[in-house]
Amino acid sequence: MALSKKPKKPQRKTSLLRGRESERSERARNGYTPVPLNIARAVNAAKKRRGFARAWDALEEDYAALESLLDARRDAGLTQETLAARMGTTKSAISRLESSFRDDRHSPSFATLKKYANACGRRLVLQLV
């Protein structure tokens, strides 16, 4: 007859936090100091490299469009899952849509962007400046 192990009780959140704190303490005792990340400074330093500034500037419009989408969803208080339900699609489709601005292979249609905006309680406005 095989003995079965007793199922482990799930750890409480507080014990998990204590574990993380002790990990931090251990790292500090071993001389580990995290390096703070200053994105603006990192980008400015990277822009000094040959070709980086041009590539970075070329993506400005894509990231501005992506930021608009993400802001609309966050302002509406929607998760990808709830937005997907409102649009009649899947969470993975929303994830692909939101990451499509970083990938030239997938470009969302105007109709899809309009649907996204409407599901967030917004209107889609195309403006050429």
Asked if residue 88 has pLDDT above 50, the reply is yes
Q: How many CB atoms lie within 10 A of CB 89?
A: 17
Q: Would you state the pLDDT for residue 21?
A: 66
Q: Which residue has the higher pLDDT, 80 or 32?
A: 80
Asked if the structure places residue 72 within a domain, the reply is: yes
| Number of domains present in the structure of the chain | 1
CA gap 116, 103 in Å, rounded: 19
Mean pLDDT over each residue of the chain, to the nearest integer: 82
CA gap 58, 69 in Å, rounded: 19
Its pTM stands at: 0.60
Asked if the structure places residue 96 within a domain, the reply is: yes
Asked if the structure places residue 84 within a domain, the reply is: yes
Asked if residue 96 has pLDDT above 80, the reply is yes
Domain region containing 127: 67-129
CA gap 93, 10 in Å, rounded: 33
Asked if the structure places residue 101 within a domain, the reply is: yes
| CB proximity list for 98: less than 8 A, separation 6 or greater | 66, 69, 70, 80
| CB proximity list for 108: less than 8 A, separation 6 or greater | 97, 100, 116
